[in-house]
């Protein structure tokens, strides 16, 4: 079976450890790097561990066996599903400086037919753990990143050979370049220029339109755009956590959402007074309902656009990390329901209490689900002086 070369895996590990963590500074001596890596990504284990050791940090490697997640949900009772090991999880947050999560799946549909209520309850039970991680991140004491390791099951789902699938990862992460980190810095500079132009506009609302969408999203003046975001490798999007009180009307999505080992197809959402009041899906609608029912997951907490001049992802990969950043001729629009990114606040987010964040309409939720469409979109901004300006059209920003 095709496996990326040692050279490619070293470059990939270096990008994650020596670039993505600590906001493209090197991990520091004696930092603690917690790595979650599935069994099906085993060839990537040693390169990651070596990259961490090379910068004199301490790796904690969590090796996750394949094919065991379904067994837990088949045999656990309700109390066991929501059990929260506070001492273990809180100590973990206190100990680790960084987290690297490797996304790899031996079976894309392992959790198919598991009761959606069980899946949602398990996710919600971990909210305090994520809150503690987010707090530490906002204080500048914690960073994280995601990376994808392609497997045969993932390639099959995307109707590609394993060679094609992994080559798509290589191209998307600049691993075919002699110095991938240098290429990432160039991309950052280009997208940062667009982000700054958007932030310079006094945008109060955006209106997203085309055949399958008519959506109003309130931005508010105390928000800033995020992009490019090194936490995801790769990432080409520019996004913002909007003011939840101004989301109205409807949107459809032409890309499937993979969640809890299941696939939800042809999602449509309807909003009134910033709440999802109607939804539909051609497949696994029941799971979508349980996701939306997780506290505060019935609101928009991210609005994102991808510019085709930057994205190197041109194929459906069946993984949100890539599909939310891919570019087709019409572009890429996605929104997320659930937890907001407090980093989108213009001020010093580390000084804000949970109540102050809530007063600024930044949501706290155990869920954050990105839902993607590559259909054509026109995005028009309404400015504070009452004028309007098209900021995104034909798959590119126009600022």
CA–CA distance, 52 with 13 (Å, rounded to integer): 9
Task: Give the CATH number of the domain where residue 28 resides.
Answer: 3.40.1830.10
- Does position 395 have pLDDT exceeding 60, yes or no? yes
Burial 146-174 (b: 16+ CB within 10 A, else e): bbbbbbebbbebbebebeebbbbbbbbbb
The answer on 341 and 219 residing in a single domain is yes
- Does position 1 have pLDDT exceeding 80, yes or no? no
What mean pLDDT comes out for the span 178-193? 91
- Does position 49 have pLDDT exceeding 70, yes or no? yes
Does residue 52 fall inside a structural domain?
yes
The answer on 116 and 175 residing in a single domain is yes
List Cβ neighbours of 163 (8 Å cut-off, separation of 6 or more). 2
What mean pLDDT comes out for the span 352-368? 74
Residue 276's pLDDT is 94
**Closest listed residue to residue 27, CA positions, set 98, 101, 93:** 98
Does residue 1 fall inside a structural domain?
no
User: With bands split at pLDDT 50, 70 and 90, how would you rate the model's confidence at 192?
Assistant: confident
- Does position 12 have pLDDT exceeding 70, yes or no? yes
Does residue 185 fall inside a structural domain?
no
Mean pLDDT of all residues in the chain? Answer: 90
Structural domain boundaries enclosing 31: 6-180
Identify the domain boundary among 147, 180, 213: 180
- Does position 224 have pLDDT exceeding 80, yes or no? no
The answer on 205 and 158 residing in a single domain is no
Q: What is the CA radius of gyration of the chain?
A: 20
Residue 351's pLDDT is 73
CA–CA distance, 19 with 22 (Å, rounded to integer): 8
Identify the domain boundary among 152, 180, 208: 180
User: With bands split at pLDDT 50, 70 and 90, how would you rate the model's confidence at 261?
Assistant: confident
Domain total of the chain = 2
Cβ contact 8:180 at 8 Å: no
Residue 98's pLDDT is 96
The answer on 135 and 282 residing in a single domain is no
Cβ contact 260:252 at 8 Å: no
C-alpha distances in Å from residue 128, one per residue of 9, 111, 292, 366: 34, 24, 19, 8
Residue 189's pLDDT is 87
The answer on 266 and 237 residing in a single domain is yes
pLDDT > 70 fraction of the chain, expressed in percent and rounded: 96
The answer on 82 and 201 residing in a single domain is no
The answer on 368 and 220 residing in a single domain is yes
Does residue 70 fall inside a structural domain?
yes
What mean pLDDT comes out for the span 288-299? 91
- The pair phi, psi for residue 353, each rounded to 5°, is -80, 170
Residue 134's pLDDT is 86
Burial 295-329 (b: 16+ CB within 10 A, else e): ebbbbbbbbbbbbbebbbbebbbbbbbbbbbbbbe
User: With bands split at pLDDT 50, 70 and 90, how would you rate the model's confidence at 84?
Assistant: very high
Most confident of 73-77, 135-139, 204-208, 274-278: 73-77
Does residue 186 fall inside a structural domain?
no
- Does position 159 have pLDDT exceeding 90, yes or no? yes
**Closest listed residue to residue 379, CA positions, set 366, 392, 397, 388:** 392
Q: Do you know the residue count of the chain?
A: 399
Note the pLDDT tens digit of each residue in 340-349: 777 777 777 7
Residue 227's pLDDT is 67
Cβ contact 396:309 at 8 Å: yes
- Does position 372 have pLDDT exceeding 90, yes or no? yes
Residue 139's pLDDT is 87
H helical segments located in 31-177? 45-54, 69-75, 78-82, 86-95, 116-125, 127-138, 152-157, 162-172
What mean pLDDT comes out for the span 202-211? 92
C-alpha distances in Å from residue 7, one per residue of 10, 14, 177, 273: 5, 11, 11, 52
Does residue 392 fall inside a structural domain?
yes
> Which residues face 175 on adjacent strands?
none
The answer on 54 and 25 residing in a single domain is yes
Dihedral sign for Cα atoms in the order 138, 24, 100, 318 = positive
The answer on 175 and 196 residing in a single domain is no
Residue 80's pLDDT is 98
What mean pLDDT comes out for the span 333-362? 76
The answer on 363 and 319 residing in a single domain is yes
- Does position 221 have pLDDT exceeding 70, yes or no? no
Residue 148's pLDDT is 97
Residue 230's pLDDT is 61
The model carries a pTM of 0.86
The answer on 169 and 72 residing in a single domain is yes
- Does position 228 have pLDDT exceeding 60, yes or no? no
What mean pLDDT comes out for the span 205-227? 84
The answer on 200 and 174 residing in a single domain is no
User: With bands split at pLDDT 50, 70 and 90, how would you rate the model's confidence at 329?
Assistant: confident
Residue 385's pLDDT is 92
CA–CA distance, 356 with 353 (Å, rounded to integer): 5
What mean pLDDT comes out for the span 304-329? 88
User: With bands split at pLDDT 50, 70 and 90, how would you rate the model's confidence at 23?
Assistant: low
- Does position 240 have pLDDT exceeding 90, yes or no? no
Residue 1: burial class (beta carbons within 10 Å; 0-12, 13-18, 19+): exposed
Identify the domain boundary among 161, 180, 199: 180
């Amino acid at each position: 079976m095709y496996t990326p070369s040692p050279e490619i895996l070293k470059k990939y590990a270096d990008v994650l450890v020596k670039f993505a963590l600590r906001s493209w500074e090197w991990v520091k001596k004696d930092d603690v790097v917690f790595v979650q890596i599935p069994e099906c990504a085993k060839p990537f284990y040693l390169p990651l561990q070596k990259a961490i050791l090379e910068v004199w940090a301490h790796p904690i490697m969590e090796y996750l066996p394949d094919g065991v997640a379904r067994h837990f949900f088949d045999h656990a009772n309700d109390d066991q599903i929501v059990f929260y090991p506070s001492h273990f999880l809180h100590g973990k947050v206190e100990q680790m400086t960084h987290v690297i999560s490797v996304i790899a799946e031996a079976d894309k549909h392992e959790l198919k037919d598991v009761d959606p209520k069980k899946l949602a309850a398990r996710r919600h039970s971990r909210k305090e753990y994520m809150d503690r991680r987010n707090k530490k991140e906002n204080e500048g004491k914690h960073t994280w990143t995601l990376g994808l390791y392609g497997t045969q099951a993932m390639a099959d789902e995307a109707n590609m050979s394993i060679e094609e699938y992994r080559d798509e990862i290589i191209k998307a992460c600049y691993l075919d370049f002699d110095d991938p980190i240098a290429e990432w810095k160039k991309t950052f500079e280009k997208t940062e220029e667009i982000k700054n132009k958007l932030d310079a506009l006094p945008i109060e609302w955006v209106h997203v339109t085309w055949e399958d969408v008519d959506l109003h999203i309130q931005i508010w003046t105390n928000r800033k755009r995020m992009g490019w975001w090194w936490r995801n490798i790769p990432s080409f999007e520019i996004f913002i956590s909007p003011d939840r009180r101004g989301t109205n009307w409807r949107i459809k999505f032409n890309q499937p959402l993979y969640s809890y080992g299941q696939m939800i197809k042809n999602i449509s959402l309807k909003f009134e007074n910033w709440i999802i009041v109607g939804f539909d899906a051609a497949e696994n609608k029941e799971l979508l309902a349980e996701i939306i029912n997780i506290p505060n997951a019935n609101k928009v907490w991210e609005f994102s656009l991808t510019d085709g001049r930057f994205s190197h992802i041109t194929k459906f990969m069946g993984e949100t990390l890539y599909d939310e950043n891919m570019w087709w001729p019409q572009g890429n629009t996605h929104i997320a329901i659930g937890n907001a990114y407090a980093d989108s606040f213009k001020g010093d987010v580390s000084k804000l209490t949970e109540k102050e964040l809530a007063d600024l309409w930044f949501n706290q939720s155990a869920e954050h689900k990105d839902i993607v469409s590559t259909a054509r979109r026109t995005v028009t901004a309404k400015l504070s002086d009452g004028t309007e300006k098209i900021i995104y059209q034909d798959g590119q920003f126009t600022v």
